[in-house]
């Protein structure tokens, strides 16, 4: 293929969420990077994660930038800051930002986070937001669930206050979308409007952990069709 596939994890989880898919992609002969954006970022705000991702892709001749969940809005900004010449996008159950504008804010979600924030200004780990068993239905396998939960970091409430504005025209690059759950159906529809291929691997939002073979195949499929 000749591309470097960069798997960007959502800031609310860690790189282990991509580990199973990465192993399959490597076995298929792909060059794969799974950066730990928590370790690379200088801070814990969205722009810090975008800058960290930009440093990862900078200098690579041809990149397929794959983002899961909350990594989606960071992808176009990271590409702009990296000044990468050849980039294709794959959004995996991820938010797709509108060109030249931030994603619309949800006041209800913000109120939910305010109720969770702890005295130090940080939110508890994402997988605990719905109680001790809240992640069980997302990742039924106990060992995989524990593996993914181990590198989930706490984010500040301020992370969700900063507006990330995608550059105008960013969607003109080739791209694709892998849909894992109905929650992200509207973003898959946006991808269709962009003229991108959409592949469905329906399950939970963490199907990249539950069924990495299918998700890896879907990523390859969207890359080939883009």
For the chain, give the percent of residues with pLDDT over 70: 99
CATH homologous superfamily for the domain 4-225: Alpha/Beta hydrolase fold, catalytic domain (3.40.50.1820)
CA distance 177 to 119: 38
Residue among 69, 35, 26, 28 nearest 55 (CA): 35
Give pLDDT, residue 225. Answer: 85
- Alpha-carbon span 226 to 224, nearest angstrom: 6
Question: Which tens digit of pLDDT belongs to each residue from 108-153?
Answer: 888 999 999 999 999 999 999 988 888 999 999 999 999 999 999 9
pLDDT over 90 (residue 104)? no
CB 93 within 8 A of CB 69: yes
Q: Which residue has 């969940």 as its token pair?
A: 69
pLDDT at residue 16 greater than cutoff 60: yes
CA distances to 69, 167, 201, 226 from 179, in Å: 10, 24, 6, 16
The SS3 assignment for 63 reads strand
Task: Give the pair of three-digit tokens for residue 216.
Answer: 């890896």
Residue holding tokens 């990249």?
208
Task: Indicate if the pLDDT at residue 29 is higher than 70.
Answer: yes
Report whether 144 contacts 210 (CB < 8 A): yes
155: its two tokens: 């984010």
pTM over 0.75: yes
Average pLDDT along the chain: 94
Q: Name the H helices within the chain.
A: 19-27, 37-40, 46-57, 74-82, 107-116, 142-149, 185-193, 207-210, 212-225
Convert the pLDDT of each residue in 176-196 to its tens digit. Answer: 999 999 999 999 999 999 999
């Amino acid at each position: 293929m000749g591309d470097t596939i960069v798997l960007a994890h959502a800031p609310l989880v860690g790189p282990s969420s991509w580990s199973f898919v990465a192993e399959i992609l490597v076995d298929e002969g792909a060059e794969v990077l799974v950066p730990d954006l928590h370790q690379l970022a200088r801070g814990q705000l969205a722009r810090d994660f975008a800058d960290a991702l930009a440093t990862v892709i900078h200098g690579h001749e041809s990149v397929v930038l794959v983002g899961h969940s909350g990594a989606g809005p960071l992808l176009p900004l990271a590409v702009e800051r990296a000044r990468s010449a050849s980039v294709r996008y794959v959004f995996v159950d991820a938010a797709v930002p509108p060109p030249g504008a931030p994603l619309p804010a949800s006041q209800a979600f913000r109120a939910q986070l305010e109720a969770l924030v702890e005295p130090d200004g940080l939110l508890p780990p994402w997988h605990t937001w719905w109680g001790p068993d809240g992640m069980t239905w997302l990742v039924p396998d106990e060992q995989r669930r524990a593996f993914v939960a181990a590198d989930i970091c706490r984010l500040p409430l301020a992370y969700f206050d900063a507006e990330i504005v995608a550059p105008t025209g960013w969607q003109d690059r080739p791209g694709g979308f892998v849909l894992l759950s109905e929650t992200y159906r509207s973003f898959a529809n946006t991808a269709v409007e962009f003229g991108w291929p959409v592949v469905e691997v329906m399950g939970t939002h963490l199907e990249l952990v539950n069924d990495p073979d299918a998700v890896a195949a879907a990523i390859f499929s969207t890359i080939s069709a883009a």
